[in-house]
Structure 1
Amino acid sequence: MFTIAALYHFTRFPDPAALRAPLQQLAEAQGVKGSLLLAQEGINGTIAGPRAGIDAMLAHIRALPGCAGLEHKESFSEAMPFGRMKVRLKREIVTMGQPDIDPRARVGHYVAPADWNALISAPDVAVIDTRNDYEVQIGTFQGAVDPGTASFREFPAWWEANKERF
């Protein structure tokens, strides 16, 4: 059984390139495969491997500057879902094409799962489904606005053109 960990964490990495080789080496030593993106704004990725390997990777990532609070989501697979391990350097860990945005400086309000349905049912709340068009076709929240974007990178332009509606 393989453990799959999906993760992202916004923090400040002054030199993300220095983090690349140690992550790659640890993953290979632990039998972990998948993809990790490193940028000055943080880390994002999905990795899979034996339980001990995933635990070692998560411990290493949480030891990086500003990553102690990293949260991740897990799932499991009988087969290894990835063919290799890639640790890549990027400009952004979530592509928006907005270099002046600092996702650590301005965040929204966190909503407890128990409060979600009440929140989205409020008459003054709009849900905008920012996932890509393929994912929206599979399913979305009732009444959600579909911006018709092919990728999240297109959302900032859509928002600029439509924000007066909200």
Structure 2
Amino acid sequence: MNHVLNISSYLFVPLPDAPALRDTLHARAVALDLKGTILLAEEGINLFLAGPAESVRAFVAALRQDERFASLEPKESWSDTQPFRKMLVKVKREIIRMDHPAIRPAGGRAPAVDPATLRRWLTDGHDDEGRPVVTLDTRNAFEVDHGTFHNAIDWRIDKFTEFPPALRARKDELAGKTVVSFCTGGIRCEKAAILMREEGLEHVYQLEGGILKYFELTDGAHYQGGCFVFDERRVLDPDLSAHPERDAIEK
């Protein structure tokens, strides 16, 4: 029986007090017997936690008492064992490294498309204005190999810092199309969508909540394989169940 609640969430919000916040959040998580990783930076928070449901939800409720985190909306899945070995809270330069300091999502988001709308667009083959829709996978190549959207654009990057130069080298292939960037939980595709708009692409969206939210809110149509996650579950199916030994999809 799956009794361990797993959550992932992020929020771009200015955190000038990240070092002090690290100690507070670590102590709170340990007191609730939670394990996982929380990343803090001046640009925001990125967290992956697992534990008893009441403890996880108590942690989130306490976090939301800070008005900066009031809009935090974790994505949930379940497992029968604890997928993390320890509780880590780290302060980093970026919560997801892109090495492009002009990207400040807290200053304004790129437009997002919800999972149900993306599913409909992919079924129809175009967006609501008749433009062809392409999905752009912003994850690392080894993650993509475990699963991705059918016919997704995959630039075979090995780390997210390679995304900006890859975009500049190949953005012409995206012109005139509606581009939906996606990733595991939303953080990379949010930065990617903002960069694409900075680079002059007009019809760009991020997939709200990433692949995990798509799995949660749809039947997983148009997605092939599973979603790689950075814990001991390794790969999640569209029903959010774990299959550690899943083979990579055929390319």
Whether these two folds match at TM > 0.5 is: yes
Secondary structure in structure 2 of the residue aligned to 1:87: strand
Deviation at 1:112, TM superposition (A): 2.7
1:113 aligns to 2:115 (yes or no): yes
1:13 aligns to 2:15 (yes or no): yes
Structure in which a larger fraction of residues adopt strand: 2
Distance, in Å, in 2 between the alignment partners of 1:36 and 1:165 is: 36
Q: Which residue of 1 aligns with 2:240?
A: none
Deviation at 1:100, TM superposition (A): 2.0
User: Which of residues 93, 99, 102 in structure 1 aligns to 2:95?
Assistant: 93
Q: Which residue of 2 aligns with 1:150?
A: 158
Gaps of 5+ in 1: none
Distance, in Å, in 2 between the alignment partners of 1:76 and 1:146 is: 29
Distance, in Å, in 2 between the alignment partners of 1:59 and 1:4 is: 15
Deviation at 1:138, TM superposition (A): 2.0
Distance, in Å, in 2 between the alignment partners of 1:132 and 1:49 is: 28
Distance 1:80 1:139, change over 3 A: closer
1:33 aligns to 2:41 (yes or no): no
Deviation at 1:12, TM superposition (A): 1.1
- Asked which structure has the greater RCO (Cα within 8 Å, sep 6+), the reply is 1
Deviation at 1:80, TM superposition (A): 1.3
Which sits farther off after the overlay, 95-104 or 39-48?
95-104
Q: Which residue of 2 aligns with 1:127?
A: 135
Distance, in Å, in 2 between the alignment partners of 1:116 and 1:150 is: 26
Deviation at 1:69, TM superposition (A): 0.6
Secondary structure in structure 2 of the residue aligned to 1:126: strand
The answer (yes or no) to whether the contact 1:13–1:65 under 8 Å persists in 2 is: no
Percent identity reads: 39
User: How many residues in Structure 1 have an aligned counterpart in Structure 2?
Assistant: 166
Distance 1:139 1:80, change over 3 A: closer
Deviation at 1:62, TM superposition (A): 1.3
Deviations 1:84-113 (A, max 9, x none): 100000111122111221012232222232
1:82 aligns to 2:84 (yes or no): yes
1:159 aligns to 2:161 (yes or no): no
Amino acid at match of 1:152: F
Deviation at 1:33, TM superposition (A): 0.7
Deviations 1:52-77 (A, max 9, x none): 21122111221234210100011122
Deviations 1:117-152 (A, max 9, x none): 343422433321111111222222222211111122
Give 1:59-74 correspondences, 5 Å limit: 59-74=61-76
Amino acid at match of 1:126: V
Gaps of 5+ in 2: 175-251
Distance, in Å, in 2 between the alignment partners of 1:91 and 1:125 is: 34
1:51 aligns to 2:53 (yes or no): yes
